[in-house]
Amino acid sequence: MDQQPRLSAQTLKVLGTLMSCPSAELSGAEIGKRTKLASGTLYPILFRLEGVGWLQSRWEAGNPAVLGRPRRRFYRVTAEGEKNVQEVVRELTPAMGRLAWN
């Protein structure tokens, strides 16, 4: 996909959080906790990033009744997303300096 999501400060926070643990999946709740973004801001960003192919998500296996809570949705950066994020980092670095997850 060649589409670029809008890269607001909040979107960069979400991408930075996910890029800081590239081999792991993070739940939406964990991303929210780490970024301190409200769910009304966070989930539209996750939805947009997934829509352009930068993220991939999956539902946690298990029955909510057995788990004793709602199932979690886990997110991770795709190979395409990682490539695009690295390009964004290259473009932003001269203007902003080195980004934390880089």
Q: What is the pLDDT of residues 56-80, one digit of tens each?
A: 999 999 899 998 999 999 999 999 9
- Taking the C-alpha atoms of residue 88 and residue 91, their distance in angstroms, rounded to an integer, is 5
Whichever domain contains 15, its CATH number is 1.10.10.10
User: Binning pLDDT at 50, 70 and 90, where does residue 39 land?
Assistant: very high
Q: Residue 63's domain spans which residues?
A: 9-96
- Report yes or no on 3 lying in a domain: no
80 to 65, 71, 97: CA distances (angstroms): 36, 27, 24
User: Total structural domains in the chain?
Assistant: 1
* pLDDT above 70 coverage of the chain, percent: 85
- Report yes or no on 1 lying in a domain: no
